[in-house]
Amino acid sequence: MTAQMVAIEGLDGSGKETQTRLLKQALESQGLNVATISFPRYGHPSAAPVEEYLCGSYGQHASDVNSYAASAFFAVDRIASFLGEWREQFESADVFIADRYTTSNAIHQLSKLPSDQWRNFVDWLFDFEFNKLGLPKPTMVVYLRTDVTTSQFLLEKRYGGDESKRDVHERDLGYMTRSHIAADWCAEQFGWTTIECIASGEMRDREDVHREIMSRVEFV
Ligand SMILES: Nc1ncnc2c1ncn2[C@@H]1O[C@H](COP(=O)(O)OP(=O)(O)OP(=O)(O)O)[C@@H](O)[C@H]1O
Ligand SMILES: [Mg+2]
């Protein structure tokens, strides 16, 4: 039975994939059986509605699809892939690491709602995915905290100035700013382990961030 499930969260380009890989390597070198998954499952049938949403088929603005509808798409991706793809791995791993998870919905969909509706939304979301659908609940959430300016800079670098490559979330600066505020709120509300990834206006070295993650979380 899985001992630990870690969700790695953060704004776009905050280093989730990088830190997932470093964490996996470090825990494996301690002899633990580690499995990882990355969401959304781009390219898999379970992610089809998510891909349509992100590329703008349902509207060019993130707000064209309401928080509950968009969350349903991402939830389908998680539960369909759990049932058909990663359940066994999850059950046999000592540590299972998810690069984005239900917690990403909290960050990215809260930003569409007024803050007096945030509590209702996350209550609904967590109940829906963890209680009703039966998806595993992370034992720990590591929040890679960056800022919007850095996120934008990293995206510009990635897309080489080609704005058309950005998805409906990435192309909206106001949306990203609200997501940042929502992420901080979630971290505080739910006791996420916050790792400050920016120091003196720059991304901290990835190994440095990794060392802090290892020192802040306890693994079996
Ligand atoms: N600490 C760091 N300092 C500088 N660059 C970094 C750091 N960590 C990751 N990167 C680089 O930034 C880019 C984004 O990193 P990564 O893909 O790990 O982030 P991500 O959070 O998974 O991104 P996305 O949200 O787009 O999936 C990559 O090119 C990666 O090599
Ligand atoms: Mg990534």
Q: Does ligand 1 lie within 6 Å of residue 178's CB atom?
A: no
Residue 176, token pair as written in the block:
């990203």
Q: If you measure from the C-alpha of residue 123 to the centroid of ligand 1, how many angstroms do you get, rounded to a whole number?
A: 30
Domains and CATH numbers, the chain: 4-216 (3.40.50.300)
Residue 3 clears pLDDT 80, i.e. is over it: no
Whether 183 contacts 145, CB under 8 Å: yes
* Predicted pLDDT of residue 220: 59
Q: What is the pLDDT of residues 177-195, one digit of tens each?
A: 999 999 999 999 999 999 9
Summarize the confidence of residues 84-108 as an average pLDDT. 95
Q: Which atom of ligand 1 is nearest to the CA of 204?
A: 1
**Residue 132 and residue 152: Cα distance in Å, rounded?**
36
Quick one: which ligand is closest to 155's CA?
A: 1
Question: How many of the other CB atoms lie within 10 Å of CB of 14?
Answer: 25
Q: Does ligand 1 lie within 6 Å of residue 100's CB atom?
A: no
Residue 155 clears pLDDT 80, i.e. is over it: no
* Average pLDDT value over all residues in the chain: 93
| Best probe residue, ligand 1, of 9, 14, 18 (max atoms within 8 Å of C-beta) | 18
**Residue 190 and residue 175: Cα distance in Å, rounded?**
22
pLDDT above 90 covers a percentage of the chain that reads 79
Residues forming a β-bridge with 196: 145
Nearest to 16 by CA among 151, 111, 199, 106: 151
206-216 vs 16-29: helix crossing angle, rounded to 10: 60
Q: Does ligand 1 lie within 6 Å of residue 49's CB atom?
A: no
* Predicted pLDDT of residue 158: 80
Residue 207, token pair as written in the block:
């190994």
pLDDT band at residue 1 under the 50/70/90 scheme? low
**Residue 16 and residue 122: Cα distance in Å, rounded?**
22
Q: If you measure from the C-alpha of residue 110 to the centroid of ligand 1, how many angstroms do you get, rounded to a whole number?
A: 23
DSSP conformational letter for 144: E
Question: Phi and psi dihedrals of 2, rounded to 5?
Answer: -60, 130
Q: Which atom of ligand 1 is nearest to the CA of 208?
A: 1
Q: What is the pLDDT of residues 55-75, one digit of tens each?
A: 999 999 988 999 999 999 999
Residue having the nearest C-alpha atom to atom 31 of ligand 1: 18
Residue 219 clears pLDDT 80, i.e. is over it: no
* Predicted pLDDT of residue 175: 86
Whether 23 contacts 206, CB under 8 Å: no
* Predicted pLDDT of residue 162: 83
Q: For residue 17, count CB atoms less than 10 angstroms from its CB and return exposed for 0-12, middle for 13-18, buried for 19 or more.
A: middle
Q: If you measure from the C-alpha of residue 38 to the centroid of ligand 2, how many angstroms do you get, rounded to a whole number?
A: 7
Q: Does ligand 1 lie within 6 Å of residue 40's CB atom?
A: no
Summarize the confidence of residues 2-8 as an average pLDDT. 89
Q: If you measure from the C-alpha of residue 143 to the centroid of ligand 1, how many angstroms do you get, rounded to a whole number?
A: 14
Residues present in the chain in total: 220
Q: What is the pLDDT of residues 111-135, one digit of tens each?
A: 999 999 999 999 999 999 999 999 9
Q: What is the pLDDT of residues 18-44, one digit of tens each?
A: 999 999 999 999 999 999 999 999 999
Residue 149 clears pLDDT 90, i.e. is over it: no
pTM of the predicted model as reported, rounded to 2 decimal places: 0.93
Q: If you measure from the C-alpha of residue 192 to the centroid of ligand 2, how many angstroms do you get, rounded to a whole number?
A: 19
